[in-house]
Amino acid sequence: MSQSAVKLYRHPLSGHSHRVELMLSLLQVPTELVFVDLMKGAHKTPEFLALNRFGQVPVIDDNGTVLADSNGILVYLAGKYGNGQWLPSDPVEQARVQRWLSVAAGQISSGPATARLITVFGAGYDAADAIKRSHALLQVMEDELASSTFLAGDKPTVADVAAYTYVAHAPEGNVSLDEYPNVQAWLGRVEALPNFVGMQRTAVGLQTA
């Protein structure tokens, strides 16, 4: 019996949504993409709020199991469909993954994600502060990736999926990656994974090749 598709409620320019779309693709889980028009407030309608009371994308519906929060969804998908490859069972390795999930919700959110929100969505945040935070984060990543193939070790995990999108799209928020060769190499390794799928790029921010 074939597996029914997981419904992914998302917006194509949402990096949080892309994390989940990327994870589903890497796991080769059949997926039905459901467009949520953020510009028209579709995420604040009663129908959508019944799925996620916070009114945020992404949300998944896996045959009746409805989950919100991109990092939580990544953990769920890896645990259910990843055959132990994306979410380690060793306590130390688990802690290393959790560290980067916290970074994704913390420094990545307040840095490159916020910088991109300003240019792509016109959000009213302090651009200089978001860019400064972004470079502080990128320097830490640059140093750590000097001795690590992926963020939590030598194999890709949900940590890499959670961190990838907003770092890859940092130039859209006027955050240059030119000074971070280790970060760029890591992005390339993620993009070389089987069944990788990228997020739509925008024409805002720094002009890159």
Domain parsing of the chain, residue ranges: 6-81, 91-191
Q: 193: closest CA among 163, 159, 156? A: 156
* Residue 188: other Cβ atoms inside 10 A: 10
Q: 13: closest CA among 38, 34, 30? A: 38
* 48, 9 Cβ separation under 8 angstroms: yes
Q: Please give the mean pLDDT across all residues of the chain.
A: 94
The packing angle between helices 70-81 and 15-26, to 10°, is 0
Give the mean pLDDT of 154-166.
98
CATH architecture of 6-81: 3-Layer(aba) Sandwich (3.40)
User: 6-15, 32-41, 66-75: which has the minimum mean pLDDT?
Assistant: 32-41
Has this prediction a pTM greater than 0.75?
yes
Q: How confident is the model at residue 203 (pLDDT cuts 50, 70, 90)?
A: confident
The CATH T-level fold of domain 91-191 is: Glutathione S-transferase Yfyf (Class Pi); Chain A, domain 2 (1.20.1050)
pLDDT of residue 209: 42
